[in-house]
Structure 1
Amino acid sequence: MLEKNIPGSGQSMSDSKRRKPPLVADKRYTRKASKPVRKPTKAKAKPAPKRPVRRKSTPKRPRKRSRNPIVAFFGNVIRWILRLIWTIVWRTSLVVSIIVGFAVTYVYTTLPEVDDLLDGRARGSVTLLDRDDKVFAWRGDQFGGVVTADTVSKHLKDAVIATEDKRFYRHFGVSPRGVASAVRINLSEGRGPLSGHGGSTLTQQTAKLLCLGVEYDASAWETEADYVRDCRRGSLGRKVKEAIYAMAMEVKYTKDEILSVYLNRAYMGGGAYGAEAASQRYFGKPAANLTPAEGAMIAGLLTAPSSLAPTANLKRSQDRAATILRLMNDQGYLSDKETKYYQTNPATLSAAAKANAGGYFADWVMSSGPEFFTRNTTEDVILKTTMDPRIQKAAENGLKWVFENKVREGSKAQAAIVVMSADGAVRAMVGGRKTKVSGAFNRATQAKRQTGSAFKPFVYATALERGAHYDDKVLDEPYCMNIAGSGQWCPKNYTGKHYGEVSLTFALMNSLNIPAVKVSEKAGRENVRIVASMFGIESDLAAGPALALGASESSLLEMTGAYAGILNGGSSVTPYGLVELRLLGEDDALMGTGGGIGERVISDEAARELVWMMEKVVSEGTGGRAKMDGWQVAGKTGTTQAARDAWFIGFTNEYVAGVWMGYDDNTPLTGVTGGGLPAEIWREAMVRVHEDMTPTPLPAFTPKPQKAPKQPARPRKNQGIDGVVNGILRDIFGGRN
């Protein structure tokens, strides 16, 4: 029975269709009963279900709204444009970098060795020495010698970097930060982006000093100033070239080499190019020995060398140096204590620079020397001169004292002084009231003015040379002459009076005009012209009788030199200031003295007699204000028509001096004659010149007193041989000297 129920047995198909109930127990439970027990099977244990990981809740994104198609369009356009700009920028930058690289490489190949760049002056320098071989003036482009960043004072080097380019040792020749800052400042100040502050690095400034490698060519520029202006143009194209040149320098040279070029080529005022020249010019010492205060002063000149030069305005230069010292402190080059000390004790000029003496004198020597060794020299030249700084100072102070104490405030009147030795060696020259000048109009040499009665000594010199004597008589009375083509001419005395028969000495010491004309006509007008010319008055002399009254024009230097001829015994004099000219570093002079005593004009006897007559002009006549205690003074006053010019020229046994006073525009002086303010200027200057000197008498003859009527000889007893000899000598030499 069991077999019949086994599936798969041989049961027929009909049987299989009839489904029989399974062999299970009957349902014994209701629906609420528990589930039937399943038959246990051997199966794999299911793994425990994983505990779900709790994730951090994230804010739900807002549901995207559909974009406005117009906004989307323009957004896409903007993104496209930005991508285009970026593409253009990086490609352009790449091209520009390649071009700049090629340009820098090319410029690099053209740069010379650094030693060839240290002295780039277009002309040489002229150093002027006084009679004691001390420097008193400089002219031309002064260059004291090559310095390097290693040999100059550390303080100067620090001051230059602190002032001009504090990032000098960190950039590659161009500072984008500096350029951007400069553009911002220029725009904020209402200027163009490239106008005013340039943002140039020290390397760029050096490139500019080198004019980007373009050398001066006289055929390309009308003047050197035009060349310099062209080198300093501030256009955009010029700035680009400057930057390329600067970067090429950074590749070719070291930083210290670039700084060395800058320190040698920069203009530092007063005609000084380079640190060594400036150091010698202002402080009289090498650039290696500069203190922080001195280094700061020189570094301060780099922005405005002419106006900030200490010789032009010491106070302004010191104020600028104080600012430089503060910058050095900010950048760690100086401590607070050092900065305070040097700001409290600023740099001062050397004695020679402080004196700044002989500006007119130096200009005169430069103009009188050979042009190729003075004004247009390409060499460094040393000129030894006759200038005496003590006498120069005395002349300047004497003129200044009179104008401060005797001339009304605000007067535009001018004056000039020349002091020289009897051989024509000029010791001092003042060409105007402003004594600390250079290149100014020199009234002592360049002004040609009527001489007035200052010419009369040459009239009397001619008469004395032709046989007249100091006590010869001439009649002072109304006098007229007929001049062909001009009619009648009647000279008058300054006082308007007539004095009758007077001696030549009286006529000269009172500056009488009528006697002077008569003496000139008697001696020969042409002879007077010859004597005056031989004494050194080279100006055209009047042809008429007014020659005797100083109608001709002459310079103060000529007139003073002519008076020196009277003092030295009657020989002509050529005023000179140059003693020796040599090249720097050479011992042999290329040329020597260019003046001195020349040929004799009048005899020594005539000259000594004239000196005696001119001494009376001062001791008893119109030149009384020129008297000096203890000294014999000879001279002559001069006042021209309408008092347009006033002169006093005179001398002691030691020196000759001439003074001129007047207006540059020929305006008449008010209440001034040659015997007034000019004589006082002469005295104030010469008193200072002769200070601490022992008085010596003039080389004048001494007239013997008139002999009393001769008495009958009486026999002399016991007079001895000495008495006999003295008596014979008196008889022989008792006449006129």
Structure 2
Amino acid sequence: MSDSGRGKGRLVADRRYPNGGQKGGQTATGRSQGARPSRSGSAGGAGAGSGRRRTPPRRPAKRRNFLVAFVLGIVSFVLSILWRITWRVTAVVAVLLALGVGYFYTKLPPVTELLDGRARGSVTLIDRNGAIFAWRGDQFGGAVTATSVSKHLKNAVIATEDKRFYHHFGVSPRGVASAIRINLAEGRGPLSGHGGSTITQQTAKLLCIGVEYDPSAWKSEADYVSDCRQSSLARKGKEALYAMAMELKYTKDEILSIYLNRAYMGGGAYGAEAAAERYFGKNAATLNPQESAIIAGLLTAPSTLAPTADLERSQKRAATVLRLMRDQGFLSAAEEEQAQAHPATLSAEAQAKTGGYFADWVMSTGPEYFTRDTMEDVVIRTTLDPRLQKAAEDAMNEVYTSKVKEGSKAEAAIVVMSADGAVRAMVGGRKTGISGGFNRATQAKRQTGSAFKPFIYATALELGHSPYDTVVDEPFCMNIPGSGQWCPQNYSKSYKGRVTMTDALAHSLNIPAVKISELVGRDLVSKVASGFGIKSELNTSPAMALGTSEASLLEMTGAYAGILNGGSAVTPYGLVDLRLKGDNEVLMGTGGGIRERVIQPEAAGQLIWMMEHVVTEGTGGRAQLPGREVAGKTGTSNDARDAWFIGFTADYVVGVWMGNDDNSPLTGVTGGGLPAEIWRETMLRVTDGTEVKPLPDVEPEAPQRVAQPQPQAQREPQRVRRDNIIQQVIRDLLGGR
């Protein structure tokens, strides 16, 4: 049958459920479900039964609530506005961030230029045996890298300071948010307290965001450092930009290397190598876990946590670091347990805390450009003997513990010296083992009292007098032009009559000292004292004989060393030589030692013989040593404000001073008391185990005949004539003066 009059239907299935139809029934046009629809599907079919499908009518849309529509419209509008603002602001911030990071990126130098950031150098002091005993300045042991230090140190720093160091881009938003939360919870400002800084940000702060120290811009280096440590929002923003620039410029290990070299680690040590040397006497590459934990723990508070300041507190902090290392997988449970059971301890050199006063003095004697203001790392070899230093410190502690009244504020100082002026030990106060304190051995100028008298007798002996020459100890007055009559007295307020010069010195009699000083001439006594090294201005009045002039303990001990060595002056010294670290060339040598002769050896020997009698028969009896010859002199100033004992054996001179810092009188103390006992305790330890040697004294020739004492009335004219003759002889010897 032909179908030429109809279009071919589309090869699609009929609607399963047409509008108005039922399953399996006819369509709305009366056509059976199996009939093929018109191909065209248009109105071109024949009649109503042509097979055209009608479009089903749309259901009427539900009308939206006006209020909901209005609210949704407003929200949509606001969100669209916010989106437009947000992406524009984000774009601007991103551009500014890129510009800031790019700016700092162009300013970053090669990493090798950032490893040593000190504004000044360091000074390492070594004793006469070649061992380090003190450090001064900014200590820097040398550049290290993150790969050259001990792996335990590297891990300890990361575990403590920034456990996500290898995974962030220089800034840790999580860390910052956590820090702000903690600060607010603890009642502080959001930027006060915990910083949430990464190691990279801390390194940026150490670099002061690229700003170098300029003396013309800051009053001091401390002001510069304070400025670099600001915690303002603007400062934090710059640090973040600088940190991100560093992340682009350097590798993670390079950033960690800068941090390990520039961080301050207490005790004057900058960087891991200096800290390892300072505290443990080893290289940073050889640190074990517990030593590494000590150093890493210092980073939060280097001054208070330094093991040299408080070892126990430092060890407690290290225990926390070790637990963090275990939690983060850097240590096994067994390794952490082993480290916790054996905490790190200081090296013998760091633990000794020896020679602080001595080191301070040596630093003050060298040129500033090599000591206080050095830009280089300097090594100074000194005269310090650690055994003798310990002897002096132990003696000081022993006497103050056992013989000084509790609550006493009296101070003391000790100097131990060789006969050539080399200072072997120094204690500048009753508190031993400290640095930076007031050094009473070198800085205090006090009245010397009778400790000055040996210079009077040295002058007389040099002029030809004998230790057996006599002088009358009796009430005595003299007129002083412009001052009137002056009547000195002996300390005991008693008088011994005619005595030899030896007895007068042994018993520290004032009247004979004044008479002999006037006899030989105060100008000569002053010249001899100055020649022996008393640099302080001397009082040239008749009271000079009683020690009214002031001097330091170091000066007085050096002057007595001149007597011991046979009459030649010495310049006390502690610096042997100075060189740059790592260089064997000596840049400067000692500025001290034996100088010109002051008195002849025979006069010096006779004076030593006289001073030996001070100890064996006179005021210095408490200074006697079993089996050793000792010579010395006591000294007590006016109103007992100062008490001295200075003496020597064949090898060493020891000077001791005692007094109050406010110059108030001592209570019940004279030079022959506590100072002599401190001297004895010191010298017992100094000479322990050493060879016994005789003093280099010269016993004078005994007089052939000793005149019988005469009544005072008959004796006085003869004495006056004899004194006048002696004065005339002295004037002749001095060329008519």
Alignment TM-score, normalising by the size of structure 2: 0.86
* Residues 487, 708 of structure 1: alpha-carbon distance in 2 compared, 3 angstrom cutoff: closer
Q: Which residue of 1 aligns with 2:147?
A: 150
Note if 1:341 corresponds to 2:327: no
Deviation of residue 213 (structure 1)?
A: 0.8
The residue type equivalent to 1:510 in the other structure is H
What pairs with 1:322-721 in structure 2 (closer than 5 Å)?
A: 322-703=319-700
The residue type equivalent to 2:677 in the other structure is E
The residue type equivalent to 2:116 in the other structure is D
Deviation of residue 483 (structure 1)?
A: 1.5
Name the SS of the counterpart of 2:165 in structure 1.
coil
* Residues 414, 75 of structure 1: alpha-carbon distance in 2 compared, 3 angstrom cutoff: farther
Q: Distance in 1 between matches of 2:157 and 2:393?
A: 37
Q: Which residue of 1 aligns with 2:303?
A: 306
Larger CA deviation: 670-679 vs 71-80: 71-80
Q: Distance in 2 between matches of 1:189 and 1:75?
A: 42
Q: Distance in 2 between matches of 1:152 and 1:695?
A: 51
1:210 to 201, 207, 210: 207
Name the SS of the counterpart of 1:636 in structure 2.
strand
Larger CA deviation: 301-310 vs 286-295: 301-310
Deviation of residue 484 (structure 1)?
A: 2.0
Alignment TM-score, normalising by the size of structure 1: 0.86
Name the SS of the counterpart of 2:148 in structure 1.
coil
Deviation of residue 337 (structure 1)?
A: 2.1
Give the RMSD, CA atoms, in angstroms: 1.9
Q: Distance in 2 between matches of 1:66 and 1:45?
A: 45
Q: Distance in 2 between matches of 1:628 and 1:682?
A: 10
* Residues 626, 79 of structure 1: alpha-carbon distance in 2 compared, 3 angstrom cutoff: farther
- Map Cα deviations across residues 620-661 of structure 1 (whole Å, 9 max, x no partner): 111111111111111111111121111111100010010111
* Residues 178, 702 of structure 1: alpha-carbon distance in 2 compared, 3 angstrom cutoff: same
Q: Distance in 2 between matches of 1:109 and 1:116?
A: 15
Q: Tell me, which stretches of 5 or more residues in structure 1 are unaligned?
A: 1-42, 49-62, 710-737
Deviation of residue 77 (structure 1)?
A: 5.4
- Map Cα deviations across residues 591-632 of structure 1 (whole Å, 9 max, x no partner): 111100011101111101110111111111111111111111
Q: Distance in 2 between matches of 1:329 and 1:436?
A: 37
Q: Distance in 2 between matches of 1:406 and 1:345?
A: 39
* Residues 162, 502 of structure 1: alpha-carbon distance in 2 compared, 3 angstrom cutoff: same
Q: Distance in 2 between matches of 1:684 and 1:334?
A: 51
The residue type equivalent to 1:273 in the other structure is Y
Note if 1:191 corresponds to 2:188: yes
Deviation of residue 80 (structure 1)?
A: 4.7
What pairs with 1:109-258 in structure 2 (closer than 5 Å)?
A: 109-258=106-255
* Residues 708, 336 of structure 1: alpha-carbon distance in 2 compared, 3 angstrom cutoff: same
Deviation of residue 84 (structure 1)?
A: 3.7
The residue type equivalent to 2:699 in the other structure is T
Q: Distance in 1 between matches of 2:63 and 2:436?
A: 86
* Residues 549, 705 of structure 1: alpha-carbon distance in 2 compared, 3 angstrom cutoff: closer
The residue type equivalent to 1:263 in the other structure is L
Deviation of residue 582 (structure 1)?
A: 1.0
Q: Distance in 2 between matches of 1:487 and 1:275?
A: 70
* Residues 475, 78 of structure 1: alpha-carbon distance in 2 compared, 3 angstrom cutoff: farther
Name the SS of the counterpart of 2:488 in structure 1.
coil
Q: Which residue of 2 aligns with 1:266?
A: 263
The residue type equivalent to 1:600 in the other structure is R
Q: Distance in 1 between matches of 2:705 and 2:534?
A: 44
Q: Distance in 1 between matches of 2:569 and 2:270?
A: 42
- Map Cα deviations across residues 660-701 of structure 1 (whole Å, 9 max, x no partner): 111111121111111111111111111111111121110012
Is the CA contact 2:467–2:700 (under 8 Å) kept in the aligned structure 1? no
Q: Distance in 1 between matches of 2:82 and 2:32?
A: 68
Q: Tell me, which stretches of 5 or more residues in structure 2 are unaligned?
A: 1-29, 36-61, 707-737
The residue type equivalent to 1:397 in the other structure is D
Deviation of residue 278 (structure 1)?
A: 0.8
* Residues 531, 705 of structure 1: alpha-carbon distance in 2 compared, 3 angstrom cutoff: closer
Q: Distance in 2 between matches of 1:76 and 1:567?
A: 107
Deviation of residue 66 (structure 1)?
A: 6.0
The residue type equivalent to 1:291 in the other structure is N
Larger CA deviation: 645-654 vs 432-441: 432-441
- Map Cα deviations across residues 692-716 of structure 1 (whole Å, 9 max, x no partner): 112111001234666699xxxxxxx
The residue type equivalent to 2:692 in the other structure is P
Deviation of residue 411 (structure 1)?
A: 2.1
Q: Distance in 2 between matches of 1:418 and 1:77?
A: 90
Deviation of residue 117 (structure 1)?
A: 0.7
Q: Distance in 1 between matches of 2:138 and 2:607?
A: 48
Name the SS of the counterpart of 2:680 in structure 1.
helix
* Residues 64, 433 of structure 1: alpha-carbon distance in 2 compared, 3 angstrom cutoff: farther
Name the SS of the counterpart of 1:416 in structure 2.
strand
Q: Distance in 2 between matches of 1:439 and 1:281?
A: 18
